[in-house]
Chain A
Amino acid sequence: MVVHVNRDMLIGFCLALFGAAIAIYAYAKYPIGSIFRMGPGMFPVMLGCASILLAIAIALRSHGKQGDPIEINVRAAAFILVALAVFAIIIEPFGVVPALLALLVISSGAVPGRTIVGTAIFSIVITACIVFIFVYLMNLNLNLFGWPA
């Protein structure tokens, strides 16, 4: 997916938003203290202000530049990130083996052109190897198969 955008303006915008958010949140929620005895909120506020200044500088420098195309590999990003999320969700209730299998199968989808059988065999073999390395070679005590209680 190709997106045309003035990258630096986008960066400036996001950075300014980020800086404002943390500065305002920190100012409201955490005691600031004085310059002699800085409270926990002082540093985040300083960071926020610095971000905003940098954002303005970056955006100004890019004014008038036309958008460069950015190529985003949506498929790869989606499959890999979803695979990670599924791993995180599955591992505690269901154990290591199902989580690994899910991770390997889903992430294989990031590159088009994989066969189901090939993916399945690959996933099982790799899962076995990893379980061997982590549980037996490294003697870690891991929950291999769990069932929701």
Chain B
Amino acid sequence: MSFFTELYDHILIGAGVAISPTNLMYCLLGVFLGQLLGALPGIGSLVAITLLFPVTYHLEPTTALIMLAGIYYGSAYGGSAASILLNLPGTPSSAVACLDGYPLARQGRAGAALSMTTIGSFVGGSLGILLMMMFAPTIAEAALQFGPWEYVSLIIMGLMSASAVGSDSPLKGIAMVVVGIFFGVVGQDVSSGVPRFVFGMNDLLDGIDLVAIAIGLFGIAEVITTLRPGMTEAVDKFSVTLRSMIPTRDDLRRSWAPILRGSAIGSFFGILPGTGALIASYAAYAIERRVADDPSRFGKGAMEGLVSPETANNAADQTAFIPTMTLGIPGSATMAIMLGVLIMNGITPGPSVVAEQPELFWGLIMSFWIGNVALVILNIPMIGIWTRVLTVPYQLLYPIILAFVCMGIYSINQSSFDIWVVFAAGTVGYGLRMLQLPLAPLLLGFVLGPMLEEHFRRALVLSHGDFMMFLERPVSLGLLIVTAIIVGSSLYSTYFGRGARSALLEEQGNGGPEGDIRP
């Protein structure tokens, strides 16, 4: 019973924070911009957050976090619009929506498709928020007992999940993690003060700037890749009226179960560190097909195939906050940026933040409710605007993106060195894309690597070099077993069966996002 009274108190605290005029304004601004940028093809949540991050730099930490979160889950709502109307995903996790969303649009049902994904997204997001409200405090309390062994196992689990799950080659994923950890190591070693791999460049003493490397690897490389020759094909324009957005009873009947399934699947993958909305959406699609009465309808406009992945990616995006806020371990590259932003603002997320800064934590959660409701409301009248936004040709868009990127990065430290980091990261990122190596594990390795090293060193000092401690402590052992299961099953499915993702991509046939992006 006291659990509920505590929860009630927390809700009140959070609501008070979330409704304050500043926070409310920035929340709405964040979801609006997030949805707008998410809808534009080529700009996913990661690019959106790094583009708008300079705006938040001068805000209070709570407000900044609320706005960034709004951008984050807002872009999950917007991404499906481009998938449905243009057959081009607006965000990587919306790629699956192309499969059944675009055929629906071609059948003249774009409006219903859009409204059903909004409903599904709202339900998914809501479930995610509820889970966060119920379980995050408990997890945080448990995590207070964690020692360095648990953190090491947790980070390893996150990194292994990120590289192994759903990827075509777990080996390459792990290799990218290792490379990423190396880049994270660059800088002054915290324990000994020795500058590592700095080569005399003093700007590197604090390490490579997270935002710069992220925008270079993902944003710049994405821009270069998107500029394929022959991009200027004519775009089918689908008319979307308010009337057409009302779903039929058949749509609703078909969709409620996929929505529930999608929410569950998404929440699961969101909580698991290392996996997120992208995997959730693919898994949801695969599972829908498997449980459908008539799998042959998929790929031709099956509402279930559209609604379940879109629900899953929203649920995953919400629950991804759980490991990030309660444990300080980001679940995806985008979460890593949020974590970086928080640290820049002087807040180190982790078990103590939930207890010591309830206004931040619960204010954030209540702002999720406000944001999700706002997104549903925004989606209905703004549909006309979205469809017009989507017709902006990419040729005009990308120089603007580049200009925002450069100005944004420069405005943080007023240092041209950061631009050079973007340049180098962009070059490396493009090279890796050409080699078809996954980029997200690299960024996760970059963020988590230093943490891993710190905890690993401390663990060994505390246990006097005893490696068996990692296996003797129950939580650590449990996490390592889960890791082994995850890696084992994905190795199995890669080498002995067909991964759902490669099967999906083969059947899709035509274009989707190139390379393995997964921000």
Q: Which residues of A contact B (CB under 8 A)?
A: 7, 10-11, 15, 18-19, 22, 25-26, 30-31, 34-41, 43-44, 47, 50-51, 54-55, 57-58, 61, 70, 72-73, 76-77, 80-81, 83-85, 87-89, 91-92, 96, 99-100, 103-104, 107-108, 110-111, 114, 122-123, 126-127, 130, 134, 138-140, 142
Proximity string of chain B (157-198) to chain A, C-beta cutoff 8 Å, 1 when within and 0 when not? 000000000000101101100110110010001011010110
Q: Is the CB of A81 within 8 A of B179?
A: no
Known: A40-B194, A43-B453, A138-B411. 4 other contacts (CB 8 A): A38-B460, A43-B456, A80-B223, A107-B398
A107 to B416, CA, bound (A): 18
A117 to B472, CA, bound (A): 71
A59 to B227, CA, bound (A): 31
List of B residues within 8 angstroms of A25 by Cβ: 197
Which residues in chain B, 419-470, are within 8 Å of chain A measured between CB atoms?
419-420, 422-423, 426-427, 430, 434-437, 453, 456-457, 460-461, 464-465
Check: B404 CB closer than 8 A to any chain A CB: yes
List of B residues within 8 angstroms of A85 by Cβ: 420, 423
Check: B224 CB closer than 8 A to any chain A CB: yes
Q: Is the CB of A84 within 8 A of B185?
A: no
Q: Tell me how far the C-beta of B512 lies from the nearest C-beta in chain A, rounded to whole angstroms.
A: 16
Q: Tell me how far the C-beta of B163 lies from the nearest C-beta in chain A, rounded to whole angstroms.
A: 10
- Contacts A43-B185, A58-B175; A122 near B435 (Cβ below 8 A): no
Q: Is the CB of B411 within 8 A of A142?
A: yes
- Contacts A7-B436, A40-B191, A47-B178; A103 near B461 (Cβ below 8 A): no
Closest chain A residue to B396, Cβ basis: A122
A40 to B454, CA, bound (A): 11
Among B54, B197, B402, point to the contact of A103 (Cβ < 8 A).
B402
Among A22, A30, A80, A100, point to the contact of B426 (Cβ < 8 A).
A80
Q: Tell me how far the C-beta of B264 lies from the nearest C-beta in chain A, rounded to whole angstroms.
A: 34
Q: Is the CB of B420 within 8 A of A44?
A: no
Q: Tell me how far the C-beta of A90 lies from the nearest C-beta in chain B, rounded to whole angstroms.
A: 9
Check: B410 CB closer than 8 A to any chain A CB: yes
Closest chain B residue to A14, Cβ basis: B435
List of A residues within 8 angstroms of B404 by Cβ: 130
The 7 closest A-B pairs by CB, nearest first: A88-B419, A76-B227, A40-B189, A40-B194, A54-B175, A84-B423, A36-B465
